[in-house]
Amino acid sequence: MVNYPLSKKLLEQEESEELGQWIVVYDFIDLKPSPNFWRNLKRISTSQGGSLIQYSVYQSETWKETRAVRSLVNHYGGEVKVFRCFGGN
């Protein structure tokens, strides 16, 4: 049996490719995130195209990626909020 990274499992759970602009804000209160959190977050961003805006703020253009990041934060015990952005130029 192959042991897939958590990031891959989380991305496979969501089928929706809905496009938009999402911001994921998270914090690990009284907790330092595991190095595995950062590895998995990097795998998600590398494969999906999103990125950190700053520490604890992540931007994404697909719901699939947004949900994976939210689930990753929850998995490692963090607090997380997701915002969908609307607007024009």
Q: pLDDT of 56-67, one tens digit each?
A: 999 999 999 999
pLDDT of residue 4: 65
Domains annotated for the chain, with CATH where assigned, are 11-84 (3.30.70)
Q: What is the pTM of this model?
A: 0.87
pLDDT of residue 3: 54
Region at 56 (left for phi over 0; alpha for psi -120 to 50; beta for the rest): left
Q: What is the amino acid identity at position 36?
A: N
Q: pLDDT of 2-58, one tens digit each?
A: 456 888 888 888 677 788 999 999 999 988 999 999 999 999 999 899 999 999 999
Edge-to-edge strands of the sheet including 79-84?
51-54, 57-62, 19-27, 79-84
pLDDT of residue 1: 43
Confidence of residue 89 (pLDDT cuts 50, 70, 90): low
